[in-house]
Amino acid sequence: MPLSAVSVSERNYFRFECFLAFFLVTFLTALFLALGIFSPGVYFSLLDSIYCLNGMQHIFLNFRFIF
C-alpha cells in the first residue's frame, strides 16, 4: 500500500509507535546497566529491530542470556 493511501492520523500513530519502541529500549538498557546485569560472567544481548515499511511496523525485542 503506497504511503499516500495511509491517512495522516495513521502515519502519526506509526511514528509514535517507533518513538515508543525506541524509548522503551533505551529505558530498559539504562535500567539493566543500573542493576549491574552487564557483568563479566553474563553476556546480555538486547536486540531491537524496528521496521516501518509501507505503514507496517514490526518490533522485535530479543533477549539472549549466554553464560
Kindly report, residue by residue over 7-56, the tens digit of the pLDDT: 666 666 677 777 888 888 888 878 777 766 555 444 445 444 444 444 44
Task: Spell out a b/e string for 26-37, using b for 16 or more CB atoms within 10 Å of the CB, else e.
Answer: eeeeeeeeeeee
Nearest to 59 by CA among 22, 5, 32, 9: 22
pLDDT band at residue 4, thresholds of 50, 70 and 90? low
* Cell reading at 64: 539472549
10 three-state secondary structure: helix
Q: Domain limits of the chain?
A: 3-66
**pTM, full prediction:** 0.36
Q: Which helix (H) or strand (E) holds 7?
A: none
**Alpha-carbon gap, residue 47 to 43, rounded angstroms:** 13
pLDDT at 11: 66
